[in-house]
Chain A
Amino acid sequence: MTSLDWTVLGVYLIGITAFGIWAGRGNQRMDDFFLAGRNMRWWAVGLSVMATQISAITFISTTGQAYVDGMRFLVVYFGLPIAMVLLCLTLVPFFYRARVFTAYEYLERRFDSRTRSLTSLLFQLQRGLSMGVTLYAPSLVLSVILGLSEATTILLMGGTTIGYVIYGGNKSVIWTDVVQMAIIWFGIFLCLGVAITQLPAGFSLRDSLALAQSTGRLRVMNTSTDLTAPYTLWSGLIAGTFLMLSYFGCDQSQVQRYLSGASLTQSRLSLLFNAFLKVPMQFLILLTGVLVFVFYHFHAPPLLWNAAELRRLERATPPAELARVRGDFEAAHAARTAAAERFAREREAPGGDSARSAYLESQRAFDAARGEVVAALRRAGGPADYNDTNYIFPSYILAHLPSGLAGLVIAVIFAAAMSTLSGEFNSLATATMVDFYQRFVKTDASDAHYLFASRVATALWGGFACVIALQAGRLGSAIEVVNRFGSYFYGSILGVFALAALTPKASARGAFYGLFVGMAAVAATSAFTRIHFLWYNVVGAVSVFAAGLLISAFSAAEPERREA
């Protein structure tokens, strides 16, 4: 990073904090603090919904994944527009007209108090811990890339976000999300434009796409019906719809965004805005990753993308061995460059297939040479499961973007992390305050007291995220367990909401015990089958719905509780 890059990043951090505090002024009641006075326009809420979903690790990981594996990850978003329409038809009108603060509050009106408490608790447990990962993962990458300590990047991201969310609540979250989303969109087009303009002379965009296509990286549509296959068209359309229904319909970090709309129409439009833009946006991000893959045919990639592990390799490997793996790697890269140039020249000429075969052979040889480097790293004491996919895009930015623009794109990564964190801090504080504190701790207090307590809850959740992120290196396997546990109930909670919204026959008992049946069904699916994880949401939601209806039908009649 040059001094200009650091200046750009510093201006962003100071500017966004100041803007967040300015935008969030004037909060008087919890309604203002948590729902921005229910007065926001659709485009602001829609950008906030989008910004909350796109985290930093999505941004750097998706481009890295496209580099390594291609664009097939795009199918995960195919269900999003369908989910948005279904939510606009079902849950959004319920939430909005019930004037609730949290999605789980609605479950008490429809079922009972314990169903609300359980679902809210599960949300806070899972989201609270995963928030630590949301903060830790980009901090780790940026610390290596920027040469800062992990603690510094964690505190820079977490501390600035906590600062403006404590003061301004949801108004700050939404307005900073709008700015951050504008920066992110600008960053996406900038990176795409730079990747295209940096292709070598005589090598067109069409040649680049042809090269990527020959390696299978442009393949998106896999029509396999195998449930164990990752990222098929059907898993995207069906399981992806369930995933998006769970995330946008039952996760408070998203529900709270559109509950801030000035009217039901504004809330619906904010979701439909995302339905239009999300797939094209992910397409552009993945395409950028693919073009970075082509770019590194003509520029020397590092032996390893993770600079810290590269230093370890260079320090701990005997010089002769290091020279050998480096020589093999560089020779394989040179051969691949030559094969790619030949491919571009001859691919449309008679005998073009031979150029294509030669290129693919050179790509395999390059992959093998890189495999040798990774094996040498393991012998040098590196991690057995070394994976540097997340380091590819930030490394590219710093090495090849002009001074100033590199700082701006690093600011984009910060923006993506902070926009997700701000929504999570705010939604967790809301669930704690509305679903627990107001019901069990202080049931009748002044607006000033609740506003103060809401700020304390925001600070505590923000501090908790920082602590988890700071300890994440040591808590690695524990966090994985928690995230796996979270995947068990994500679809199951959707099943409870489906019971609430779609059938008057479901009882509180059916919903409560059905939730446990759904979680057990997902746990069993995970333990005893190889079904791809995207389908877990379908298993959970369908199991809860079926079990809930059965339990309701067979249990003793209980008083029917319907929405007020």
Chain B
Amino acid sequence: MAPREPEDDPVPIFGSWTNIYVAVIACELLSLALIALFSSWRF
């Protein structure tokens, strides 16, 4: 696994890297939901 070392920079946003990754995955899920909606919407 990745060596556990202190980060070389402060975490830039959201308080921790874990929160940043969760935000990325949440955005991915939101994108998929919007694309599914676009794909099935009766225009």
B8 touches A264 (CB 8 A): yes
User: How close is B26's CB to chain A, nearest CB, in angstroms?
Assistant: 10
User: How close is B43's CB to chain A, nearest CB, in angstroms?
Assistant: 4
Q: How far is the CA of A502 from the CA of B27 in the complex (A)?
A: 27
B residues in contact with A268, CB < 8 Å: 17
B1 touches A502 (CB 8 A): yes
User: How close is A29's CB to chain B, nearest CB, in angstroms?
Assistant: 21
Chain B, Cβ-Cβ closest to A504? B1
B3 touches A280 (CB 8 A): no
Say yes or no: is A545 at the interface (Cβ < 8 Å to chain B).
no
Interface size on A, residues (CB 8 A): 37
B1-43 at interface with A (beta carbon < 8 Å): 1-3, 5, 7-12, 17, 20-21, 24-25, 27-28, 31-32, 35-36, 38-40, 42-43
A220 touches B35 (CB 8 A): yes
Q: How far is the CA of A453 from the CA of B21 in the complex (A)?
A: 41
Residues of A contacting B: mostly: helix
User: How close is A219's CB to chain B, nearest CB, in angstroms?
Assistant: 6
Q: How far is the CA of A219 from the CA of B43 in the complex (A)?
A: 13
B7 touches A213 (CB 8 A): no
Say yes or no: is A266 at the interface (Cβ < 8 Å to chain B).
yes
- Which of A90-98, A249-257, A506-514 has 4 or more CB atoms under 8 Å from chain B? A90-98
Number of A-B contacts (CB under 8 A): 76
A residues in contact with B36, CB < 8 Å: 220-221
- Which of A74-82, A175-183, A412-420 has 4 or more CB atoms under 8 Å from chain B? A74-82
Q: How far is the CA of A268 from the CA of B16 in the complex (A)?
A: 13
Chain B residues at the A interface, C-beta cutoff of 8 Å:
1-3, 5, 7-12, 17, 20-21, 24-25, 27-28, 31-32, 35-36, 38-40, 42-43
Q: How far is the CA of A409 from the CA of B14 in the complex (A)?
A: 38
Q: How far is the CA of A97 from the CA of B8 in the complex (A)?
A: 10
A/B interface sample: 22 pairs, CB < 8 A: A71-B39, A74-B35, A81-B24, A81-B25, A81-B31, A85-B24, A88-B17, A88-B21, A89-B21, A93-B2, A93-B5, A94-B2, A213-B42, A221-B39, A221-B40, A265-B7, A265-B12, A269-B12, A275-B24, A276-B24, A276-B27, A501-B2
Q: How far is the CA of A209 from the CA of B8 in the complex (A)?
A: 48
User: How close is A403's CB to chain B, nearest CB, in angstroms?
Assistant: 33
User: How close is B18's CB to chain A, nearest CB, in angstroms?
Assistant: 10
Chain B, Cβ-Cβ closest to A279? B31
User: How close is A388's CB to chain B, nearest CB, in angstroms?
Assistant: 27
Q: How far is the CA of A84 from the CA of B31 in the complex (A)?
A: 16
Chain A, Cβ-Cβ closest to B31? A279
Say yes or no: is A206 at the interface (Cβ < 8 Å to chain B).
yes
Q: How far is the CA of A426 from the CA of B7 in the complex (A)?
A: 29
Q: How far is the CA of A314 from the CA of B37 in the complex (A)?
A: 45
Q: How far is the CA of A380 from the CA of B24 in the complex (A)?
A: 54
Chain A, Cβ-Cβ closest to B18? A89
B39 touches A218 (CB 8 A): yes
Q: How far is the CA of A85 from the CA of B28 in the complex (A)?
A: 11
User: How close is B8's CB to chain A, nearest CB, in angstroms?
Assistant: 5
Q: How far is the CA of A285 from the CA of B37 in the complex (A)?
A: 18
Chain A, Cβ-Cβ closest to B11? A265
A197-243 at interface with B (beta carbon < 8 Å): 206-207, 209-210, 213, 218-221
A206 touches B8 (CB 8 A): no
Contact of A90 among B2, B10, B31, B39 (CB under 8 A): B2
